[in-house]
Structure 1
Amino acid sequence: MDMSKLIIENIANPHELERMFRKDPEAFKKSFPYAWEKRPDSHVLAVWYERLHFKETANTEKASLLQKDFLSMGILAILAGISTRVILHLTEQQAIAPINLVFGILPFIAAYFVYNNPPKKNVLYTLASLFLISVFYMNMLPQEQTDSIILAYLHLPIFLWVLLGLAFTGNEYGIGSTRLAYLKFNGEFSILYASMAISGMVLTALTMQLFTFVGMDISEFYFENVVLFGAAALAIVATYLVTRNLKIAKNIAPYIAKIFSPLVLATLLVYLITVIWVGKNPFMDRDFLLSFNGILLCVLAVTIFSITESGTDEKKNISDYINFALIVLALIIDSVALSAIMFRLSSFGITPNRLAVLGVNILIWANLIWIMLSYMRFLRNKTGPSTIQDAVTTYLPLYGLWAAIVTFTFPFIF
């Protein structure tokens, strides 16, 4: 039987219409105009008409907007590449510190967010002033490798990352779902940027080899001008692609989270058992304590990534129990690290390094407690997953605040 007749016969059967469409979408689309011509008064067919033709209308309406976004992305990508190259040159001349390279990328990503989602003037002025203050302040510091200045260099990117979050969220900076969207953006951005960077590495290797065949060594020129420029510009391009709802990164991110969480949990358990077996002591071994904190930060990042990619499904699954186990494990690690830091402070006195590590461990410990309690309520069917996500997103500004304290006060205090 002709499919157009089947469509007319099943007007009152939405399930059958959907089944027919999914079975052979192209045949359904070709047969639909005849059915629509025969029954133009049908509300069901009117809905199907809009469904089948909506994309064509949307594309024509948004064509100019797409071009506008693409043009702004291109300009910002070029500016980011040029700025990063100029900053590298000044760094090589020892005129400024290498940390300034972050200002060749992050302000332009923030500018892209602001351009495409214009915030109120108070948010815009806050962003602009804090970026300018950061640039001015970091270049007023002496280029000495003291502990307090190194700590300022290490904490500045964290502060700027939170500031970038303000640019992303715009006027909705206080809304948890918007903050969660920013965390998701970071995961999808990392996946996409890494994928494109690998392609860039292959192109670089091919280019190097081709010029080697003709007896030319262009490695230094290529890395300083092409690779560096491309790495900076690629950050803007990746931002554009993620914000344009590129499905590759969005579809793969949840699967990466589900795969990596159990692997990290298993690896961490084996590592901790090995540490106990060989008798490593974070209370006395400074380097081991630092590595312990590094592991803690990695576990926290993986856990938050997994939580943000878990969605809003009320049903519990194995991933939730793995995340909960990771949080408990991270809390144990943080408690040991916190005890070791307190011991070293009381035994060897206050230094900027110990104070900075103490502060961040206290922040992480409190955050993990909050996330763990939220997860316990969720696993006991007392709340939904949004409570867990709120425990993650609400805490983000505190990390930025501590990073700002270390960056802007430690060089003066110590």
Structure 2
Amino acid sequence: MTAREDQDKLEAQFAQWRQYVQRRRELLPSDADELEDHLRGSVDELVAAGLSPDEAFLVAVKRMGSLDELSREFAREHSERLWKQLVLTGETGSPVADTRSRRDLWAMVICAAGAVASVKAPALFGLSFEDDSSFYARNFTLFALPWLAAFLAWRRQARRPLIGILVALFALGAVAGNAYPLADKSQSVVVTSIHLPIALWLVVGLAYVADDWRSSRRRMDFIRFTGEWFIYFVLMALGGGVLSAFLFNTFKAIGIVPEEFISHWLLPCGATAAVVVAGWLVEAKQSVVENIAPVLTRLFTPLFTAALLAFLVAVVWTSHGIDVEREALILFDLLLVVVLGLLLYSLSARDPLAPPGLFDKLQLALVVSALAIDVLVLLEIAGRITDEYGSTPNRAAALGENVILLVNLAWSAWLLLTFIRRRTPFAALERWQTGYLPVYAAWAWIVVLVFPPLFSYV
């Protein structure tokens, strides 16, 4: 590597460090300038002593004394091996860190208890899980996600205007989920139950990024948070399933059948509390899950690529069209969302300075395969809407979602191709994905608020 390349890489590391420091609310711009001057001076001394620029930068950060806690948090957000070795080792024992951890723990416990109280509150008004399943289907995320957003807003020290916006959006979601006269088996109930969690999760994203919502890096951090939260939540759900089976069978062996306790208390209360606990775990234990999530992404990306290619070959070979009934639409949309999730999370976990490699080409194949399936589904949906079947809430929602995904996947494929050919920087792909998040939010809110009256609440 030439001296010029070394210097460019070092400047990129300084820029990455400064961007992180500027997100800290307790540091003023003048503090960031002073910190960077101190860091640059230390790096210059270490380079003069014979270290390479990379080594000098890492050692200088480790030597920052009173800023060790800041260094550790920066290391948690960047998965490079050397960051963890040089910064995260021996991080326990800091009084500031211990105090903050205890405060976060108590905040999590309070918010989790609030989620549990919320999911049990409707029972006080005679609403049961058996007789009012559609109510709980529409509102389950309203019981849990506001408390997760509250925990994140508290941890980010969100300002009052942002808190007001969060409260207003969750209140709007509650109105949209309950004000319309929807029959239990209507298509609008299904559409609302699917899209309201998406809309509310992006409200949680607003709490996560706090006042840095314009920052592409902070939005990418939220994408990373989403993937890690999902992993923790699934692991807790699996553990909860094992616990439920254990309780049921052990108590049954002595003549007690705890079915009502499990179905009415353990599962709903555990699920809502787990939403908050998973968010706390991501915030507190990032150094652990960072090693798991990228491995899962690299494992499932080739598997999904092979599955999509096999499906496309089967479609061409058999000349069969795609069934676009409700279950099939949900399945194909879920498939495309999983593909998009794999792409997003692999981008969030990738070193932005690394050159294009084999995995990037594999991602391009995955995106192109998903794009081809999206086109096939769109053609089938458009054909059904224009023929004698007409439009329904399911088909209209699926049509809009597939158009939105088509635009995203098409431009993502182009950016991946140009990145692989070294004509576009990786940052362009990252900016495109993070900048597209408001599109998903807007569409989800349109479906939740506009579709039920538009289709006469059917």
TM-score scaled to structure 1, two decimals?
Answer: 0.82
- Residue among 143, 146, 153 paired with 2:186: 146
Alignment-derived partner of residue 210 in structure 1: 250
Q: Which amino acid aligns with 2:361?
A: Y
Q: Is the 8 A contact 2:324 2:377 kept in 1?
A: no
Deviation of residue 246 (structure 1)?
3.2
- Residue among 328, 332, 336 paired with 1:296: 336
Which deviates more, 300-309 or 312-321? Answer: 300-309
Q: Is the 8 A contact 2:156 2:210 kept in 1?
A: yes
Alignment-derived partner of residue 120 in structure 1: 159
Q: Is the 8 A contact 1:110 1:168 kept in 2?
A: yes
Deviation of residue 160 (structure 1)?
0.7
Q: Is the 8 A contact 1:156 1:403 kept in 2?
A: yes
Q: Which amino acid aligns with 1:379?
A: I
- Residue among 91, 94, 101 paired with 1:66: 101
Alignment-derived partner of residue 43 in structure 2: none
1:386 aligned onto 2:430: no
Aligned residues: 370
Deviation of residue 319 (structure 1)?
1.3
Q: Is the 8 A contact 1:90 1:96 kept in 2?
A: no
The 5 A counterparts of 1:251-400 are 251-282=291-322, 288=328, 291-348=331-388, 349-400=390-441
Say what the alpha-carbon RMSD is for the aligned residues. Answer: 2.7
Aligned counterparts of 1:267 and 1:162: Cα–Cα separation in 2: 29
CA pair 198-285 structure 1, distance change in 2 beyond 3 A: closer
Which deviates more, 259-268 or 377-386? Answer: 377-386
CA pair 388-226 structure 1, distance change in 2 beyond 3 A: same
Structure 2 residue runs without a partner (length 5+): 1-48, 56-85
Q: Which amino acid aligns with 2:431?
A: D
Deviation of residue 51 (structure 1)?
7.9
Aligned counterparts of 2:246 and 2:454: Cα–Cα separation in 1: 51
TM-score scaled to structure 2, two decimals?
Answer: 0.74
Alignment-derived partner of residue 70 in structure 2: none
Alignment-derived partner of residue 107 in structure 1: 146
Deviation of residue 286 (structure 1)?
7.2
Q: Is the 8 A contact 1:96 1:139 kept in 2?
A: no
CA pair 221-115 structure 1, distance change in 2 beyond 3 A: same
Which deviates more, 152-161 or 293-302? Answer: 293-302
Aligned counterparts of 1:247 and 1:391: Cα–Cα separation in 2: 27
Deviation of residue 249 (structure 1)?
1.3
Q: Which amino acid aligns with 2:254?
A: V
Q: Is the 8 A contact 1:283 1:343 kept in 2?
A: no
Q: Is the 8 A contact 1:293 1:337 kept in 2?
A: no
Structure 1 residue runs without a partner (length 5+): 1-11, 19-49
CA pair 307-91 structure 1, distance change in 2 beyond 3 A: farther
Q: Which amino acid aligns with 1:240?
A: W
Which deviates more, 144-153 or 70-79? Answer: 144-153
Alignment-derived partner of residue 97 in structure 1: 135
Alignment-derived partner of residue 77 in structure 1: 112
Aligned counterparts of 2:87 and 2:230: Cα–Cα separation in 1: 34
Alignment-derived partner of residue 275 in structure 2: 235
Aligned counterparts of 2:331 and 2:88: Cα–Cα separation in 1: 56
- SS of corresponding position for 2:256: coil
Which deviates more, 160-169 or 298-307? Answer: 298-307
Identity among equivalent positions (%) equals 30
